[in-house]
Structure 1
Amino acid sequence: MLRENPAEPLGLQFGQSQAVRSDEYGTESPIWLSEMARGGESALNPLTVSNAFFAQIPSGIFSSIVFLDGTLLRLGNLLPHEMLFAMKWWLPSLLLFIGLPVWFRQITGQLRWGYLAAVLIFFAPASMWWSGRPVNTLGFVAAGCALAIFATNAFERRWWTRGVVAVLGAGVLLARLPTYYQPLAIVIGVPVVVATAVVILCLRTSWRHRLVSLGAIVLSGLFWTGLLFWEARDAVAAGLSTLYPGDRRSTGGPVEFGRVFGGTNYAWLEAVGPSGATFETELATSFNVLIVIVVLLFTARRWRGGRMQAGAAIPIVAATLFWLSWCTISWGPVGELLPIINRVPDFRAAQGAGFLATIAFCLFMAQWRPSRRVAVPLTAAAVAGGISAYAGSSLQLEMLPGLTNLMVWVSAIITAGAVFLLVRWPTSWLPPLLTGLAAVAMTATATPVLFGLGDLRDSDTAKEFLAWGDTARAEGTVWASDDGYVDALLMSTATPSLSSRQQIGPNVENWMRLDPTGEHEDMWNRGGLHIQFDWTDSAALEWSMPSPDMVVISGSPCVVADRIPELKNVVSSQPLTDGCLALIDELPWSGRQHYIYEVAVP
C-alpha cells in the first residue's frame, strides 16, 4: 500500500496494514502530512475547493485557534514530522481519557465509570475499525463539556478569570463538533452537549446563575462556530451545493439485527473477515446491547442518583433509544422531513448509538447499589449473553459466514460475565478493570501502530516527491497519476495533483475546463470524491463512476493538459507513448514500478 516496497517496509510497525480505510490512509493522514511538508503554504488543486475545513486544518485567523492542533502542523520546517503527526493523531484520545472521566466525576462524583466509558469507547469495534473517528468527535466534546461545567462552578465561587477562560476554551472545543463527519457528530456529539446543558440547569444554585452561565457557554460556542463557518464560507457553500452529499436526505429503516447488536462478536472480525463487498469499517458497531441492560435495571430497582445524574442520563438514554429506532424501524417519508436528523443514514445510527449506550450504562451504574439478591445480575447477564448469541448467529447467516459457533458462544459468555460482574459488584474497581481488559483484547490488533512515518518520509521515492512538490508549488504546476496509492503519496508530500480527494466540493469553473459541456456534472459535483485517472492514448476523455465516491477519467494525459495547462507531470503505472510526454524517471511505489513523465503541450 503506502510503501515503496511492501515486502521490506521501513520503520517499526506492530500489527498488519489493512486496505479497509481509504478515507484515512488516502485522505486524512496525507492531508496532515501535506500540511507539514508545505509549512503553511496554500494547497493547490485546481479542481477542488479547499479541503481544510473538514480536515480540521486552519485557513485563517479564527480556524488557527479552533484547529490549534492543525496550526501546529505548520511547524513542519522546525519540528520532526513524526512528532507533529503523533500529536495530531493522539490528541483526541488524550482529551477523551481526560475529559470523559472528569465529566463523570463532576456529575456522579466518581472517576472509574468515566474511565470505563472511555476505554469501551476507544476500543469499541466501530472506533478501532473506523480509524478512531468517534474518538475524534467525543474527545473534543467531552473536554469541552467538562470545561463548561467547570466554568459554571467557577462563576459560583467568583473565580471570574478561571470561569471566563473555561468558557472561551469550552466554546473553542465545542466549535469543532460540526466540522468532522457530521452524521456521526449528530448521533454521538449533540446528545452529550445537550446532557451537559441539562446538568448545568440541575445545579443547586440560583436560576440566574445557571441561566447566565449556560448562556455564556452557548454564546461562546456559537461565537467560535460562527467565525469558523464564516471563514470557510466558500468551501461550505460549495459543499452544500453538491449533488452528493449536499442534497442527500436519509430516513430511518431496519438494519440487520446482527449488525446492530453484534458489537460483542466483532472480536473475531479480523480473523474471519466480512463476506462480499462489505468492509469491516461499515460492518462494525459498538455495544448497543448496554442500553437494553439500562432499561432492564431501571425497571428492577428505583433510581438512587441525584438530579444531576438524572439530568445527564435522561437525554443520553432518550437519544440512544431514538437512534436505535432510526436503525430498527422504518420511518418512511416522515424521516426525510426531519431536519438535521435526515442527514444520518440508518447504518450510521447503528454504528453511533452504541457509544451513547456506553455512556448511558456507565452513568446508570454510577448510582447503582449492590444487593444481596443475585437474581437481578443473573437476569441482566442472561439477557446480555442471549442478545450477543442471537446477534452472532444472525451474523453467521450472511455477513460473517466464517464466524463459528464456538466464537459466538465465547462472545456471549464473556458478555454475560462482564455484565454480571459489573451489576453484582458496582462499587469495586475489579469488574470495570476486567471489562476494560476484555474490550482491549477484542480490537487491540485491528489497527496497526507505526513508529515514525515509514516510507512516506524515509523512502527514496518519497524524498524525490518532496523535492518535486516544492518545485511544483513554486511554479504553480500540478501532477496527476493513475494509481490511488501514488495519489496518497502525492498528497503526503505536498505535491499538487489533479488526482486527489475532493472532500468538500468542486471548483466548478475549473471542472468546466475539463468537462466543457458539463455533461458529467453528476459525477464530479460531489463531496467526498476520489478523483482518479486512467491513462490511455485516446483523444477523447471518457468518464465513469464505479462507486458513488469515485470518478474515473480515462484518456490521454495530453488531452487533460490541453484543457488544464497547469498539468506538467504525470505518473503512470505502465509506459506511455503519447507525443507530448517525455520520460524523466522511474520509481517504485506500493510494490510496482511507476513511470514519471513531463508534459510538453505547445
Structure 2
Amino acid sequence: MPSLEESRFQRATRRAGAWLIANDNWMTVAAAALFAAFILTGMTTSSIGMAWFSENPSDPDITQIGMPQWIRSDEYNVNSPLWMSMMTTGGPPTLSPLGAPADIAHRFSSGGFFETIVFFPTALLWMTSFLPDTMVFSLVWWLPMIFLVFSLPFWVERMGGTRRMGWLATLLIAFSPSVAWWSLGPVGVLAYAVAGSLALAIAAELFISRRFVRAGIVMVVAGILLASIPTVYAPWSIILGVPVLLATVLRIVATKTTWPQRIVPIAVSGSIALILAAGVFLENREGLESMVGTVYPGSRRSGSLAQSFAMLFGAPGYDALSRHDPIVSNASELSASFTVCVFWAAILIVAYRNFGRVRDNLPLIVLGAWTLTWLGWCTVSTGALGERIPVLNLVPPYRAAQVIGILAIIVVALILSKAPLRRDYTAAIVSAVTVGFVTAYAVSLFREEAAPTMQSWQILAAAGGAAIAVFFVTLFPRKLWPVLLAGVLALLPVVRSQPILFGLGEFRSSDVARTLQDLGAESRADGTYWATDAPGFESLMLANGVPSLSGFQRSGPDVAQWERLDPDHEFEFAWNRGGGYIPFVFAPGEELEITTSGFDTTWVRIDPCDLKERFPELGHIASAEAIDSSCLVDAGTANWSGRTVYLYETP
C-alpha cells in the first residue's frame, strides 16, 4: 500500500508540475501568492504614511519602507481618507455638504442600485464589518492591479497573441512610471476594460459552443466590468478602454461562425453595460451637472499640442524622478509609460512583414491605429482647430502623453507573438540600437529640461537597460527568461518611486483618530457638522467619519448650500469649482470673504459666530489657533502634525 500511495502522490506531483509549467501557469500562481501576501499584511504603496499625518512627526507610529511622495496629495489628502471614511461609516464618505454628490467622481456608492453594482470595488470597503481595515484597504488598493494581472495575458492570447507576450505587456504596464507616479491610476482605467473584454471573449466562446447558461453568466460579468469604461476618468478611458473593447468586438465579429453566434454575446453584454452606465449617470445627474457647470475644471476642450520628447520617450530614465526633484512641473505630471515601444513596434513590422490575413490581425490594426492617433495628438500642434474635433478634444494632450505608451506596449506584445520561428538577429540588433539611442536622447533632454543634477551614468544605464531588454526579448520571443529580464529592468526606474506601507499609519492607530471616530459617530447621529482650519486635520476627520463643512468639494458646488454663505453669488467665481479643497479660516469680528487659488482651492474666511448663524447644524470647530469667541465653548485639545489643535463646541 505505501508504494501505491507513493505512486499516486508522484503522479499528482507530476501533473501539478506539468500544469504549472504549461502556459506559464506558475506565474499566475506566483502572482496570486504575492497579492495574498500584500493583502494579509495590509501592504500598499500609499503615501498616507507621511510623518505630517501623525501626532508626533519626529517619532511617527508608521511602518513603511521608503519615503512617501508629497506630490501625491490627492491620494493621501483625499482618496485614501475617503476610502477610510467609507470603512468607518459603513456607507458614503463624510464629504462637505457644500459640494454636490461626488459618487461618480470617486466611484463610490451612496446606496444607488446601479452605482453599487458598477462601483463594486469601493463597495468592498464595507467588508470591514468582518475583516480588518488594513486588509480591506489593501485589497481595494491592489484590486485594479489584480484584475490587470489575471486578465491581460489571457486577453492578449485571445486577440491573436501569446500568453507569454501577454505577461510581457503586463509587467511593462504594471511597472510604467505613470502607473507608479499616479498611484495606479492608469491601471484603474485599463484593468476593468481588459477584464470586461476578456469576459466578453469568453462569453462568445461559450455561446458558440452552446453552453448557454455559462455564457449568460459571463455576459453579465462582462457587462458589469465594461460599464466602467464610460464611468472612469474620461481622458484615459478614451485612450485605453475604448480600443481594448473595440479590438475585442472586431475579433469576435471576425470569428468563422454564424452571425447570431457572433452578435448575441456582444449585444447582450453591451446592453447590460449601457443600461448600468446609464443608470449610474441618472443616479449621479446632480453631481454631473454641477461638475460640468464649474469654472474649474468645467467642460474643457483641448486641441493637440506637441509634448516634450523627453516626457514621451524618456520613461526608462525616470529613476531620476525618485532621486531629483524636477525643476519644472512635478514627478506625476512628467511621468509617462514606455512610449519608446512605438519605435520597437515599427521595426518589428518591417522585419516580420508577413502577418497573415487582415481578419486575423484586426486587434493589432485597431490598437496600432489608436496608438498612432494619440501619438499624433501629443506631437503635432493644431491649436483651435483641434478643439473642434469630437472625442479627441476631450483629451488634454499631456494626459495622452502619460499613457499612450501603455497601448504601444500591447501593440509590441501582439507583434512579437507573430515572430518567425528563426532567430532574427537583425531585428533584435536594430530594435535594441534604435530604442537605446532614442532613450539616451530623451533622457538627456530630460536632464536638460527637468533634472540638471542627473548624472551621465544614469542616462547610459537607462539606455543600456532598455536596449538589453529589447534585444533579448526580440531575439527570444518564445522564451520566458527575457520576459522576466525585461520586467526587472522596467521595475528599476520606479522601484524607489513610492513607499511600501504596512497598515494605515496614524489615521487609525493614534489616540486622536480613535477619539474622532467616537465624535464622528455622535455627529452623524445628531446630524451636526464640524469645521476646521487646521492643515492635515481635515483628512484625519474625513478618514474617521467626521461630517465637516470644510474639507473637500470633488465634483462641484451644491449651489443651495453655498447660497447660505453667499446668497448674492458675490464670490461664485471662487466657489464654483470641482476636484478641490475648501479650507476655512476663522476670523472673529471680520466680514465673510471667499477666495480661490485660481484652480482647485477655495478659502472661506469667516467669523465662527457668523458661520454658526448661517449653519445652525454646526456643532464643533477644530482650529490650529486658540479662538476667543463668545459663541464657542472649549472642548479640549488634540495633537496632530506636531501641533495642538483646539476643539470647540458651538452650542
Please indicate the TM-score interval, normalised by the length of the shorter structure. Answer: over 0.9
Task: Report the counterpart of residue 524 of structure 1 in structure 2.
Answer: 575
| Match runs of 1:20-419 below 5 Å | 20-40=71-91, 43=94, 45-59=96-110, 60-108=112-160, 110-276=162-328, 278-304=329-355, 307=358, 310-369=361-420, 371-419=422-470
- The verdict on how the C-alpha distance between 1:75 and 1:297 changes in structure 2, with shifts beyond 3 A counting, is closer
CA deviation profile, 1:273-312 (whole Å, cap 9, x unmatched):
2114x22111111100101211122123313356565111
Of stretches 154-163 and 307-316 in structure 1, the one that deviates more from structure 2 is: 307-316
Q: Distance in 1 between the 2:166 and 2:404 partners? A: 18
Q: CA deviation at 1:511?
A: 0.6
Q: Distance in 2 between the 1:172 and 1:207 partners? A: 24
Task: Report the counterpart of residue 452 of structure 1 in structure 2.
Answer: 503
Q: CA deviation at 1:55?
A: 1.9
3-state DSSP of counterpart to 2:638: strand
Q: Distance in 2 between the 1:522 and 1:41 partners? A: 28
Q: Is the 8 A contact 2:93 2:545 kept in 1?
A: no
- The verdict on how the C-alpha distance between 1:460 and 1:379 changes in structure 2, with shifts beyond 3 A counting, is same
- The verdict on how the C-alpha distance between 1:280 and 1:12 changes in structure 2, with shifts beyond 3 A counting, is same
Q: Distance in 1 between the 2:441 and 2:523 partners? A: 57
Q: Distance in 2 between the 1:253 and 1:42 partners? A: 38
Of stretches 106-115 and 169-178 in structure 1, the one that deviates more from structure 2 is: 106-115
- The verdict on how the C-alpha distance between 1:264 and 1:155 changes in structure 2, with shifts beyond 3 A counting, is same
Task: Report the counterpart of residue 573 of structure 1 in structure 2.
Answer: 624
Matched, 1:436 2:484: no
Q: Could you tell me which amino acid in structure 2 is paired with residue 123 of structure 1?
A: F
Q: CA deviation at 1:420?
A: 1.0
Q: Distance in 2 between the 1:49 and 1:78 partners? A: 31
Q: Distance in 2 between the 1:575 and 1:287 partners? A: 52
Task: Report the counterpart of residue 18 of structure 1 in structure 2.
Answer: 69
3-state DSSP of counterpart to 2:314: helix
CA deviation profile, 1:444-498 (whole Å, cap 9, x unmatched):
2322222221211111010111111111111111112223411111110110112
Q: Is the 8 A contact 1:107 1:308 kept in 2?
A: no
Q: Distance in 2 between the 1:170 and 1:272 partners? A: 43
Matched, 1:494 2:545: yes
Q: CA deviation at 1:133?
A: 0.4
Q: Is the 8 A contact 1:369 1:427 kept in 2?
A: no
Q: Could you tell me which amino acid in structure 2 is paired with residue 212 of structure 1?
A: V
3-state DSSP of counterpart to 2:105: coil
Q: CA deviation at 1:208?
A: 3.2
Q: Distance in 2 between the 1:559 and 1:318 partners? A: 59
Q: Is the 8 A contact 2:341 2:412 kept in 1?
A: yes
Q: Is the 8 A contact 2:319 2:496 kept in 1?
A: no
Q: Distance in 2 between the 1:479 and 1:129 partners? A: 33
3-state DSSP of counterpart to 1:543: strand
Task: Report the counterpart of residue 645 of structure 2 in structure 1.
Answer: 594
3-state DSSP of counterpart to 1:10: coil
Q: Could you tell me which amino acid in structure 2 is paired with residue 275 of structure 1?
A: I
Matched, 1:467 2:518: yes
- The verdict on how the C-alpha distance between 1:573 and 1:370 changes in structure 2, with shifts beyond 3 A counting, is farther
Q: Distance in 2 between the 1:308 and 1:141 partners? A: 22
Q: Distance in 2 between the 1:202 and 1:371 partners? A: 29
Of stretches 142-151 and 15-24 in structure 1, the one that deviates more from structure 2 is: 15-24
CA deviation profile, 1:195-254 (whole Å, cap 9, x unmatched):
111111122222332123222222121121112212222222222222222321111101
Q: CA deviation at 1:92?
A: 1.0
5+ residue gaps, structure 1, are none
CA deviation profile, 1:68-92 (whole Å, cap 9, x unmatched):
2322322333332112211211111
After TM superposition, the score normalised by the length of structure 2 is 0.89
Q: CA deviation at 1:181?
A: 1.9
Q: Is the 8 A contact 1:305 1:367 kept in 2?
A: no
Q: Could you tell me which amino acid in structure 2 is paired with residue 591 of structure 1?
A: G
5+ residue gaps, structure 2, are 1-51
Matched, 1:505 2:556: yes
- The verdict on how the C-alpha distance between 1:547 and 1:132 changes in structure 2, with shifts beyond 3 A counting, is farther
Q: Give the length in aligned residue pairs.
A: 599
- The verdict on how the C-alpha distance between 1:504 and 1:309 changes in structure 2, with shifts beyond 3 A counting, is farther
3-state DSSP of counterpart to 1:513: coil
Q: Distance in 1 between the 2:300 and 2:92 partners? A: 34
Task: Report the counterpart of residue 35 of structure 2 in structure 1.
Answer: none
Q: Is the 8 A contact 1:263 1:286 kept in 2?
A: yes
Q: Distance in 1 between the 2:92 and 2:352 partners? A: 61
3-state DSSP of counterpart to 2:486: helix
Q: Is the 8 A contact 2:636 2:648 kept in 1?
A: yes
3-state DSSP of counterpart to 1:54: helix
Work out which of the residue numbers 427, 434, 449 in structure 1 matches 2:478.
427
Q: Is the 8 A contact 1:370 1:424 kept in 2?
A: no
Q: Is the 8 A contact 1:369 1:426 kept in 2?
A: no
3-state DSSP of counterpart to 2:417: helix
3-state DSSP of counterpart to 1:273: coil
3-state DSSP of counterpart to 1:250: coil
Q: CA deviation at 1:44?
A: 5.7
- The verdict on how the C-alpha distance between 1:146 and 1:122 changes in structure 2, with shifts beyond 3 A counting, is same
3-state DSSP of counterpart to 2:647: strand
Q: Distance in 2 between the 1:42 and 1:423 partners? A: 49
Of stretches 74-83 and 323-332 in structure 1, the one that deviates more from structure 2 is: 74-83
Q: Could you tell me which amino acid in structure 2 is paired with residue 448 of structure 1?
A: P
3-state DSSP of counterpart to 1:53: helix
Superposed CA RMSD in Å reads 1.8
Q: Distance in 2 between the 1:402 and 1:308 partners? A: 51
Q: Could you tell me which amino acid in structure 1 is paired with residue 125 of structure 2?
A: L
Q: Distance in 1 between the 2:515 and 2:591 partners? A: 32
Q: Distance in 1 between the 2:591 and 2:81 partners? A: 31
Q: CA deviation at 1:136?
A: 0.9
Q: CA deviation at 1:323?
A: 1.1
Q: Distance in 2 between the 1:478 and 1:173 partners? A: 36
Q: Distance in 1 between the 2:423 and 2:188 partners? A: 41
Of stretches 186-195 and 561-570 in structure 1, the one that deviates more from structure 2 is: 561-570
Q: Could you tell me which amino acid in structure 1 is paired with residue 499 of structure 2?
A: P
Q: Is the 8 A contact 1:479 1:570 kept in 2?
A: yes
Q: CA deviation at 1:373?
A: 4.9
Q: Is the 8 A contact 2:352 2:420 kept in 1?
A: no
Q: Could you tell me which amino acid in structure 2 is paired with residue 327 of structure 1?
A: C
Q: Distance in 2 between the 1:365 and 1:496 partners? A: 54
- Counting aligned pairs with the same residue, the percent is 36
Q: Distance in 1 between the 2:129 and 2:258 partners? A: 52
Of stretches 44-53 and 461-470 in structure 1, the one that deviates more from structure 2 is: 44-53
Q: Could you tell me which amino acid in structure 1 is paired with residue 452 of structure 2?
A: P
Q: CA deviation at 1:535?
A: 2.6
Q: Could you tell me which amino acid in structure 2 is paired with residue 168 of structure 1?
A: V
Of stretches 513-522 and 551-560 in structure 1, the one that deviates more from structure 2 is: 551-560
